[in-house]
């Protein structure tokens, strides 16, 4: 996770918080990092990175690693999921969801496939609905590549930057006053 944070910083992201969770029953580990692009220091956009390590995957990889001769690499069949989640405050004006989804899919490309959804919330039956966007992208990290010191994260972080720039640029269309 330290390498991912350094890489994110190199691509212009500010790191704000970091957490690690360990489930006591399954020993699954999750690391979360809160960050945002330098341009969004005052808000409204946040980006959360989540890396999950399933103990069965890690133990299987370790077994194969010990059985692999020193001059060979283990097979590239062990992966860890990395999730990117963008967060914005509830919107005053909703964008056209189809246009937003296709624009972000184009920015994410195949390097960072993006899913866009929305939730409408009512605080009271007499209040107007508040729409919250949920934007998520997933990337699988190869343990073999990580073992070799190849994290292959330049393109996904470049795509993240493009998505962040798009969201920040369009935030003025979605809010009466852009929240900080």
Q: Which long-range contacts (CB under 8 A, 24 or more apart) does 23-30 make?
A: 26/55, 27/55, 28/52, 28/53, 28/54, 28/55, 29/53, 29/55
Q: Which domains does the chain have, with CATH numbers?
A: 2-120+130-174 (3.30.1460)
CA distance 106 to 123: 34
pLDDT tens per residue, range 108-138: 999 999 999 999 998 888 888 889 999 999 9
How far does Cα 47 stand from its chain's mean position?
A: 7
Please, what's the largest Cα pairwise distance for the chain?
Answer: 69
pTM: 0.88
pLDDT tens per residue, range 43-93: 789 999 999 999 999 999 999 999 999 888 888 999 999 999 999 999 999
């Amino acid at each position: 996770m330290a390498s991912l944070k350094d890489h994110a910083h190199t691509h212009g992201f500010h790191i704000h918080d970091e957490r690690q969770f360990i489930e006591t029953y399954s020993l699954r580990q999750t690391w979360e990092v809160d960050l945002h692009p330098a341009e969004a220091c005052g808000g409204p956009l946040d980006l959360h990175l989540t890396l999950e390590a399933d103990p069965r995957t890690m133990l299987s990889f370790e077994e194969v690693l010990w059985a692999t001769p020193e001059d060979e690499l283990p097979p590239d069949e062990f992966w860890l999921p990395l999730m990117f989640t963008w967060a914005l405050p509830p919107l005053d004006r909703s964008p056209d969801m189809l246009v937003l989804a296709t624009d972000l899919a184009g920015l994410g490309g195949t390097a960072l496939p993006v899913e866009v959804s929305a939730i409408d919330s009512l605080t009271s039956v007499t209040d107007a609905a508040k729409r919250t966007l949920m934007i998520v992208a997933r990337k699988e990290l190869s343990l073999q590549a990580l073992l070799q010191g190849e994290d292959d994260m330049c393109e996904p972080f470049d795509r993240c930057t493009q998505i962040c720039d798009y969201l920040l640029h369009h935030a003025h269309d979605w809010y009466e006053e852009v929240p900080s």
